[in-house]
Amino acid sequence: MKKIIFIIVVCCSLIACSKETTKVDKPIEGETLHNEIILSFNETKTIGSENMSIKFTGISPDSRCPSGPIVCFWGGEVMATLEITINSETEIATLKAPGGCFHEDYESNGPCPGEEKAIMDYQFKLIGIDPYPDGTNNNGNIEEEDYTVTFMVTK
């Protein structure tokens, strides 16, 4: 009887060892440092290598001077609010985009370079907040859910 049990255990072991192992894919880590990240309103993206998540949670009233042949007294601005979580620590931050930069190529106003800010040991560089107000998007009255924010994170 002991021989039969021993033979069954050996056979089962050989069968288990002979099966091919299934390859398990590495989990997707999301975005990476030093690359542009685009978030829609209320969207969250992660930078897995940094255990970081970033959510676009709000937009200030958009007072940027509309593009086109318009003369404004002040260029205006708009601010995007981000909820940044790193290792379970959360911080709310705003990045400002000024408006009214004159573009010689278009002879009109347009987006300006965005703000760069140190947040929780990382540099956040705002690239843009879109859409930029113009005469075609409801006279500059853009719905909150239509905004996107583009930025880059570096260490």
- 97: part of which helix (H) or strand (E)? strand 89-98
Average pLDDT score over residue span 63-70: 77
What gap in Å lies between CA 2 and CA 20, rounded to an integer? Answer: 30
Summarised one tens digit per residue, pLDDT across range 108-138 is 555 567 889 999 999 999 998 988 887 665 5
Note if the pTM is more than 0.85: no
Share of the chain above pLDDT 70, in %: 68
pLDDT at residue 65, as a whole number: 80
pLDDT at residue 119, as a whole number: 94
Tokens 């897995």 sit at which residue? Answer: 48
